[in-house]
Amino acid sequence: MNERIAGAELRQQPVGNALAILLRAMNSQWYNTAGGQYDRYLKQAVDTDIAANDSAAQRHNLADLGDPILLLNRVTQEDSYYVSATALCRQLLTAKSTSAEQASNTEPFLAEYAALFDRNGDYARIAEQVLKARREPGSRNLGFRMMMLIDALPYFPADSTERTELQSALRRMAVRVDRTKSGSSSLWSEGPQAYEPDKGCPDLAASAMITYSLARGVQLGLLPRRYEETAQQM
């Protein structure tokens, strides 16, 4: 993200998953430029949501912001972020099946929390939730589920059975992507089918998530290198 685009995004006030995505971008921009305006935006957005959702009944509204809450806990060492992250973790670990979109934020947060605070007993429950994230027709659901696995897996212990199980699930999805993409258009489509190059409108969000998942999976050693070429073709 260049600074002109980042500056324009600072004036936006999205909510939910859109806010979580924007805060990830601001975190990267802060890391790359050390610009204080990105740090301030991140902190203000999180502080505002924590203040507005500080009761147990409202805390589920923070589900998409687990990752930035943990980031601010690491950077500032302020107790308020640890308290919010811990309360959110306890609530999410007992949640029932959720949408793949929300799970793409919550499950990586839970895995990171477990890694940061040595909650080894949580990994089995987190893996179960990852695998139970609702499957729905369409390429966007596939994109969210792949991204969820890519962002959660690095926090699982390397020798754990849960990591092996989740990596196998990721590789099955990658095989499916590779097979359905072969000889077709580079973009995934909207609609009930995961990939229909000649039907429906291109789904840029789904295409971006799947491309990211393949490329990041290769980079992290979670997927064979041959999928790098697949990602580059999309």
pLDDT in tens, 18-61: 777 777 777 777 767 777 777 788 888 888 888 877 665 455 55
Contact 102, 63 (CB under 8 A): yes
Q: Is the dihedral of CA 45, 91, 151, 197 positive or negative?
A: negative
pLDDT for 172 beyond 90: yes
What are the extents of the domains in the chain?
Answer: 1-93, 95-234
Q: Check residue 67 and give its pLDDT.
A: 86
3-state secondary structure of 221: coil
Return the ∠ at Cα 31 (arms to 29 and 36), rounded to 5°.
75
The token duo for 78 is 């302020």
Neighbour count for residue 176 (Cβ, 10 Å): 14
Distance CA(98)–CA(96), nearest Å, equals: 6
pLDDT at 167 over 90: yes
Residue 198 has pLDDT above 50, yes or no: no
What value does the mean pLDDT take over residues 56-67? 66
pLDDT of residue 123: 97
What's the CATH number for 95-234?
1.50.10.10
Q: Are 150 and 210 in contact (CB under 8 A)?
A: no
